[in-house]
Structure 1
Amino acid sequence: MTVKPYPLQFKAEMKERIWGGRALENFGLELPEGSIGEGWMIGDHPNGTTKVMNGELAGTGLDHIREAYGREWFGTQGFSEKNGRFPLLIKLLDCNDDLSIQVHPTDAYEGLPEGELGKTEMWYILDAKPGAKIIYGLKDGVDRAAMEAAIAEGRIMDTLQEVSVEAGDAFYIPAGTVHALCSGVVVAEIQQNSDTTYRLYDYDRPGLDGQLRELHIEDSLNVIAYKGAGAQRMKTDNAVAGQWMTIASSPYFIVEKGLVTAPWQLSTSLESFVILVVAEGEGRLKWADGDQPVKAGECFLLPANLGGYELSGSMTVLRSVVPA
């Protein structure tokens, strides 16, 4: 069966987390019971593979679409060269409590689980309570010996930089950057397709099973980029309607912010799929063979061979592609 390319919307895979809450319901998402910290909106990973919920491919997993339609739909750059899977994982995060102090490895780290990628990511702050903050990198002069000593002496927080955040802030977090989201923020996360996290510190709190969660001190010390990995942050409130503002750029993804106030004619390219995350507002997404309403919290995968499409309405959109 030949299926014409169309924008794919997936049923989110919801993940209960000790630090989660119920804020994702504000986007109209259906949440199971419990403290829901992560909505995996577009995923092709053993720990969460999303299924299409619109159009001819409804009920089909992203993994099966990848196998059936290959580079024609995902683009010449639309695969991980390491494991053949879809290269990105798209999440919405509700941080009702502080996340663990953590760090992610690069693709080159020898301790990676088999078939797993490293994890470079970016955050776009969708909502932040007054006074909200994140942990973002190390203080100047902290090397491996200083970090080991701080951990041993129970003062790891003294080595970390705290940054205040508000809605619209963007953070690029290359692998090797020590970081943590803190309570009171809701975040869109675009990342490599990986679920490998090394925890340095977890506030000595029990997990969902009542036991202390595992820490990964040696792996963490091995992968931290003590002299920095190129982390960057920016305010995005000067975005101009009808123009894309680059808010994160890496070898794995380019993320741009766009303000839609009038019909905006756009197109995919044969090099990469396009992922659209509606961050705020509502509008319509049109393409050659159809159109549909879209609203905040919704995410769409546009095949590389979709061609022209149009955004209209009043909304803020994040666009992600894989660089050539």
Structure 2
Amino acid sequence: MDTPLYPLVFKPILQDRIWGGTKLRTELGKENLPTETTGESWELSAVEGNVSIVANGSFAGEPLTALLERYPQEILGRDVFSRFGRQFPLLFKFLDARQDLSIQVHPNDELARKRHNSFGKTEMWYVMQADKGARIIVGFKQKSGPEQYLEHLKNKDLIKILNEVQVNKGDVFFLETGTIHAIGAGIMIAEIQQTSDITYRIYDWDRVDASGKSRELHVDLALDAMNYNTTDTQKSYDSEKNSSNIMVDCPYFTTGFLPLEGKVEVHKEGRSFTVYIGTEGAFTVKADGQEHNFKKGDTVLMPAALKDFSLEGNASLLEVYIR
């Protein structure tokens, strides 16, 4: 069946955050930052209230959700459509942490459905840039429990029992739901996650906004959402040229690292959409006789109906799909 679909990019949804900065502009070329504390660029989203708008081609100006109403299986793929209906199941972001993010945790599917009628929030991070000495907080140093955790939280020394990891560009972390975590200052990441905006904020470093107000905490909600065991979150991966080297493979998404040098022919089966995130360089997608040019900082949705296409250029890409 002929389809009018093509590689889609969307207008970035730029979000001010108390911990944000300006790297989305200086590192990724996101212009018109609303503030000098812009912490997030939502690149591809179907979250209610933050639905992505097409930025290129004949569908420019149309919301992602409207396209999914018209072309659900053609965009999502037959397997994804049968599993999720017309819901787009993933959320793609870039984050710029000028300051530490809050220490937080995300609920699993069961808890999120029960409490918020939402998906849970399994996610992964790809470190796009990191200042020297930058670190993340991820998981407990040793097996813990609610009582020990609450005691340290009350004494404002929670960090003593949490695992801090220094990070470098290219590092990958996979965070299953329930993992206590925080992105540290000086880090810019690409985040791939389930379509969910549910975060339980546990500790926010006692900071206040310009009005002198603290952000809301969710200590009680986090208690039974948390995994108190130690976790192995950092993932190693290969860097074979012109190949999608698997970094994370989970029920919610599969992500590969694709170092592109020259040309790669891609053949898909129409089971899932594919998303390419440009992390370095520039690349061209050739599909249905048309050329589409992209660069670092672009997030490209390849509808499932585009089964045969090529990638050309010198670039580093993240390739994301659902098995």
Shared fold (TM-score, shorter chain, > 0.5): yes
What TM-score comes out, normalization by structure 1 length? 0.94
Q: Is the 8 A contact 1:275 1:301 kept in 2?
A: yes
Residue by residue, what CA displacement relative to the aligned partner does 1:104-161 show, whole Å, maximum 9, x if unpaired?
0001006755432110000000000110100011111211221111112222111110
Where in structure 2 are the equivalents of 1:1-324 lying within 5 Å?
Answer: 3-26=3-26, 27-30=28-31, 31-79=33-81, 81=83, 84-109=86-111, 113-207=115-209, 209-228=211-230, 231-236=232-237, 238-323=238-323
Structure 2: runs of 5 or more not aligned = none
Question: What is the one-letter code of the residue matched to 1:124?
Answer: Y
Mean Cα displacement is larger for which, 62-71 or 281-290?
A: 281-290
Mean Cα displacement is larger for which, 308-317 or 108-117?
A: 108-117
How far apart are the structure 2 equivalents of 1:19 and 1:206?
Answer: 11
How far apart are the structure 2 equivalents of 1:209 and 1:59?
Answer: 35
Residues 110, 297 of structure 1: CA spacing in aligned structure 2 closer, same or farther, 3 A cutoff?
A: closer
How far apart are the structure 1 equivalents of 2:75 and 2:96?
Answer: 31
Deviation at 1:269, TM superposition (A): 2.5
Deviation at 1:63, TM superposition (A): 0.8
- What secondary structure is seen at the aligned counterpart in 2 of 1:211? coil
Q: Is the 8 A contact 1:261 1:313 kept in 2?
A: yes
Q: Is the 8 A contact 2:102 2:203 kept in 1?
A: yes
Residues 234, 198 of structure 1: CA spacing in aligned structure 2 closer, same or farther, 3 A cutoff?
A: same
More helix by share: 2
How far apart are the structure 1 equivalents of 2:279 and 2:114?
Answer: 32
How far apart are the structure 1 equivalents of 2:211 and 2:66?
Answer: 33
- What secondary structure is seen at the aligned counterpart in 1 of 2:79? coil
How far apart are the structure 2 equivalents of 1:190 and 1:257?
Answer: 13
Question: What is the one-letter code of the residue matched to 2:273?
Answer: F
Count residues in correspondence. Answer: 320
What TM-score comes out, normalization by structure 2 length? 0.94
Deviation at 1:55, TM superposition (A): 1.1
- What secondary structure is seen at the aligned counterpart in 2 of 1:195? coil
Structure 1: runs of 5 or more not aligned = none
How far apart are the structure 2 equivalents of 1:201 and 1:80?
Answer: 39
How far apart are the structure 1 equivalents of 2:95 and 2:35?
Answer: 16
Question: What is the one-letter code of the residue matched to 1:242?
Answer: N
Residues 17, 152 of structure 1: CA spacing in aligned structure 2 closer, same or farther, 3 A cutoff?
A: same
- What secondary structure is seen at the aligned counterpart in 2 of 1:93? strand
Deviation at 1:181, TM superposition (A): 0.3
Quote the sequence identity (%): 34
- What secondary structure is seen at the aligned counterpart in 1 of 2:262? coil
- What secondary structure is seen at the aligned counterpart in 1 of 2:278? strand
How far apart are the structure 2 equivalents of 1:240 and 1:174?
Answer: 27
- What secondary structure is seen at the aligned counterpart in 2 of 1:66? helix
TM-align CA RMSD: 1.8
Residue by residue, what CA displacement relative to the aligned partner does 1:159-208 show, whole Å, maximum 9, x if unpaired?
11000000000000011001110011110000000000001100000135
